[in-house]
Structures are given as C-alpha cells and as structure tokens.
Structure 1
Amino acid sequence: MKISADQITVRNGAKVIAEVTAALRSGDSVVDFSGVKHIDSTAIAVLLAAKRVLKTDKTLQVKHAPAQLESLIAAYGVQSLFS
C-alpha cells in the first residue's frame, strides 16, 4: 500500500499507522513510501506497527524508503529489527 501522506511526523503518525495496519490486515504486505517527502522518527513507529501486524506470517516489504529512514534506523540502533 502506498502511504497517502507526504510527510510522516508525530503530528500524523497515528493516522499513518492506522492506514498502514488496516491495509496489512487486509492482506497487503508492502509499505510504499514513494509519495513521502519528509519523515521523522515516527516512520520507525509505522514500520514497527506494520511488523507487529504481519508477525511471522508474511515478510514486510518496504519500497521507495526515504534515505532518512536508514539513518534513523541506525541512529536508534534498531537495524536488527529490519534486516
């Protein structure tokens, strides 16, 4: 599912998490960041919520991740959760 917001921040994080988790519960396993232009650490919370929904049933696929996302994952030391 393509994230509809052009930003993922603390201001809209709950809405994005709800959107992503609803799509994943409906059978999707892709989170597409192609329309997202700005993120903060809330994007990590979005991915963690997605992983919780999928559990081990499916592999979460992340497409068009912003360059900032990899930096945030490293800064928070959570690389093992996304490898």
Structure 2
Amino acid sequence: MEDPLNPTAIWRFSLEPQDGGTLLREWMRMGPARSGLSFAIDRMPEKEQKIVFVRMREFEANMIATIEGIKKLAEGAGAPGEATL
C-alpha cells in the first residue's frame, strides 16, 4: 500500500471559467517515493533512456485520455453516475 505522506507521484487538476468555456490545468510531480520506473531503471540501467522514453509516451497517452474524460463529464456528455476516471 502506498504511503500518502510519501507518494510515488502527485497529480492535480484545476478547472476555472475562461472566455465562456473552462480552462483545465493538469499538473504532475513524480516522487518523493520511488516508483516502478525507478525500480525498472535499477534492474536495467543500460536501458534507462528507452525505459524513460516509453514511460513518457504512456504519460502522454494517459493524460490525453484523462483530460478527454474530464471534458466529457464537465460538458455533461456522460450519464449521471458515469464518472469513472
């Protein structure tokens, strides 16, 4: 179980009105605890560049999916009780 006082990552989202729409900001910080990424690099230090590259592509894809889900919910496209992000 992850220690809430020593997380592997922190994600934050903020929504604010802007020009008749909504501005969504997403922020992420890795650490302070070590993540699976750190352990993978420890096991295969010669592959660090590839490990980080693959993880960054995963971050990008997951951030896009999360933002699209928040947008859908914020615009009321989802059915009541459908919030499953």
Question: By the TM > 0.5 criterion, same fold?
Answer: no
Bigger fraction of residues in strand: 2
TM-score band, normalised by the shorter chain?
Answer: under 0.3
TM (normalized to structure 1)? 0.23
Structure with higher Rg: it is: 2
TM (normalized to structure 2)? 0.23
